[in-house]
Amino acid sequence: MGACNNEGLSLSQIREFSTSHNIRLFKNVHDNVHGNIYLDPVPQFFSTRVILYWFFFLSLVDLRFLLFWLKLCLKFIDTEQFQRLRELKQLGLTHMVYPGAVHSRFEHSLGVYWLAGEAVQNLKKYQGLELGIDHFDIQTVKLAGLLHDVGHGPFSHLFERAFLPQVLNGTKWSHEHMSTKLVDYIVDEHHIDVDPEMMRRVKEMIVASSEFSQTKDTREKQFLYDIVANGRNGIDVDKFDYIARDCRACGLGCSFEFERLMETMRVMGDEICYRAKDYLPVFKLFSTRADLYRTVYTHPKVKAIELMVVDALSKADDYLQISAHIQDPSEYWKLDDTIIKTIETAPDQELRESRDLILRIRRRNLYQFCNEYAVPKDKLDNFKDVTAQDIVCSQKNGGILLKEEDIAVSNVRIDLTRGKRNPLESINFFKDYQSDEKFLIRDDLISHLLPACYQDMIVRVYAKKPELVAAVAEAFENFQLKTYGIKTQVHGTPEKKKRRV
């Protein structure tokens, strides 16, 4: 990967035909995962000699084309809308449990930009003539990588998956769709001179794995749409970056090596395929992601804090109008994680309940985790989310009378990106580079130790007040007995929690 206006050069290509003096022309950002990420050449260092030098070694690329792309990526990066990503933590509130998880959507976006460039350059290196990959394709894929997360809301996925469903009553909204709106807004607001066709394709690549994706049958070079957000089988550079980055930030080991897949992938029949010998490394991508979900993203205390923040945001929504501008990019971009500080420090009486919840989080007076159970495998098909009302209705007569507002329930779904399906069923492999045949591989041909089920559903219940833990835990056990005929949780609620007042 390299300068945006240098045909998307990879670092190896830069070193191949650049002197140590010329590499200084590349603006770079040092990343703690990928090392130096090279952006556009700094224009004030340009000289006629350097331009002519590149002109010769870039296969006689049109000089006007080269200058047109000058600083294109930086024009997007150096906007207040993109810089806002510095104020969005990649893992939302996870840093309250894993203190090192304070990395932002900004650095993740730069990482995906880098890996998207490396991926398309590798394909061009080995199959460029065959696939017809040109400068336009390279810049499009890289821009899609850079801008794919610009539409994220505060606290990562909590905003769209927990807060908005609670206040919008079923209205559909996604950060991918907002990313496309913000891309248009940035181009218009900052008068960025960029090819409309390129931006159309960038937006299609951003939503390629979402419900907003358009039909794929008529797309030219469909394989390019699978690099940043792969709706076909889930293998994309977005996952490559966040898995490596999140493991590092949380102090966890990461045995998945995305570099191997990027170096050996091959396009066959307009689809990115992988060597048959890389079946297990591909599986490790999905299993590592699932491990992160179980141990980090859905950690019981992380979910407790998230439930409290959702309640705080919901109580503050009418007054602060947090959800009022989610369709208006000119207002939406002003939302970021600092909303929690706004609530915490505002003296307004209307924010008192929200402010008290934030204060409880600061003082570690969290919603109390009562217990959890994994939904039996044979019940997954007909599972419906458990609600606070379900737990309240499972109380026995006598004792404390619970109300729905006393209980918080978290229904946690963990899978390998394809729900109950094995994602590797959608991935084509090839035998070797001399073979022109692509094929699917059954799990049982590789190993009998691979999972037979690809999804977990975990139900967790929390008491919002410490003195209610015993009553909520008992009602939760009653619910399990009533629903499944057995108590499926594998451990009891600690007695010290039940006695806490």
For 273-320, the DSSP string reads EEEGGGHHHHHHHHHHHHHHIIIIIT-HHHHHHHHHHHHHHHHHHHHH
What phi, psi does 458 have (nearest 5°)? Answer: -115, 130
Q: How far apart are CA 390 and CA 461, in angstroms?
A: 11
Burial of 149 (0-12, 13-18, 19+ CB in 10 A): buried
CB 2 within 8 A of CB 13: yes
- Report how far Cα 244 is from the mean position of its chain's Cα atoms: 12
* Those residues with Cβ within 8 angstroms of residue 201's Cβ, 6 or more apart along the chain or in another chain: 140, 144
Q: Hey, which residues does 28 pair with through a beta bridge?
A: 38
Of 135, 148, 175, 177, which one is the catalytic site residue? 175
CB 248 within 8 A of CB 111: no
Q: Report the SS3 class of residue 412.
A: strand
Q: How far apart are CA 127 and CA 133, in angstroms?
A: 8
CB 353 within 8 A of CB 315: yes
Q: How far apart are CA 272 and CA 274, in angstroms?
A: 7
Active site residue 175: yes
Catalytic residues: 175
